[in-house]
Amino acid sequence: MKKNRNWSLWVGFLFLLAGFLSYAFFAQFPVTRDFPWANFLLFAIGGILLVVGLFRAFGKPRVYRGKILGPILAILGICMFGFFSYVFFYVLREVPPSTGAPRVGQKAPEFTLLDQDGKEVSLRDLTTRSKAVALIFYRGFW
Amino acid sequence: MRSFQQRLQELESRGIQVVAISVDPPDINRRQRQKLGYTYTFLSDPKAEVIRRYDLLHRGAGPKGTDIARPAEFLVDSSGTIRWVNLTENIAVRARPQQVLEAFEEGERAVPQ
């Protein structure tokens, strides 16, 4: 008897893959930027489908394929989810506490630095020239 | 940082100047600015002296374990006083121009000019 293709394994795996690869895409939109719930939703759908597929492969091995493929896809899926969670919940949060950073109401420490054209710019120049200055410290492009 | 470029006109029309600071040298800043189409000022702090003074040093987080700045945003008024601070707990989550505009408006209301 020819066995049925175990589609829920494949579709589940595709959802997991989409959840894994779409972080940069969803980071563009304000609603999904700060917390990647769209990615976690894709992971959840993928996980459920994959589990259904595994039940089919092992529960009805005469009807469905996937006894070898299922566990392989499941392990890959767990690795992707694990890596994603590790990066999101640990790596991206490895930020120094900066308890000594200037606070609201304090004077901003004065500085003089070179701008993109090699010209000296001081904080005093900036504040006297405008109503307010937004200082954006960033990691750099290198 | 792209979002600040997108709303730069709005920020500048209220008298808010946007300035980015990192350890990148001026020539990299010039190239990146051109490439990404940013028109606000980029300042270079290659030895992380100012970054250290603001307690924003992220040790060993740069390429080959160099020290770089952690992401942080400040709004400084014309007297040099800090009006608003944003110290993110997740390097992927940065301040939005909207937050800066709101902090500025609040300061304007508190000190009518």
So what's the pLDDT on residue B1? 86
ipTM confidence score: 0.94
The answer to whether A114 contacts B58, with C-beta atoms less than 8 Å apart, is no
Mean pLDDT of B53-82: 94
Does the pLDDT value for residue B113 go beyond 60? no
Mean pLDDT of B47-68: 94
Nearest to B51 by CA among B91, B24, B78: B24
Q: Decide which of A26 and B38 is more confident.
A: B38
- Nearest residue of chain B to residue A99 (CA atoms): B55
So what's the pLDDT on residue B92? 84
**What residue type is assigned to position B16 of the chain?**
I
So what's the pLDDT on residue A2? 76
Low-confidence ranges of chain A (pLDDT < 70): 1, 142
**What residue type is assigned to position B97 of the chain?**
P
Q: Are strands A132-137 and A120-122 parallel, antiparallel or unpaired?
A: unpaired
A28 lies within 8 A of chain B by CB: no
The answer to whether B23 contacts A27, with C-beta atoms less than 8 Å apart, is no
Dist CA A62 CA A60 (whole Å) = 5
Residue pair B95/B86 in contact (Cβ under 8 Å)? The answer is yes
So what's the pLDDT on residue B14? 95
pLDDT, tens digit, 9 for 90 and up, residues B84-105: 999 998 888 889 999 999 999 9
Dist CA A99 CA B44 (whole Å) = 23
So what's the pLDDT on residue A141? 77
Nearest to B58 by CA among B67, B48, B47, B46: B67
The pLDDT mean for chain B works out to 93
Predicted confidence band of residue B111 (pLDDT cuts 50, 70, 90)? low
So what's the pLDDT on residue B112? 56
pTM of the model: 0.83
So what's the pLDDT on residue B68? 96
Task: Find the CB nearest B85 among A92, A103, A121.
Answer: A103
Predicted confidence band of residue B5 (pLDDT cuts 50, 70, 90)? very high
Q: Tokens 């004065």 map to which residue?
A: A110
Task: Find the CB nearest A95 among B16, B22, B88.
Answer: B88
And the tokens for B61?
């987080």
Residue pair B102/B111 in contact (Cβ under 8 Å)? The answer is no
Taking CB atoms and an 8 Å cutoff, what residues of chain A touch B62?
139-140, 142
User: Measured on CA atoms in the order A73, A75, A76, A80, is the torsion positive or negative?
Assistant: positive
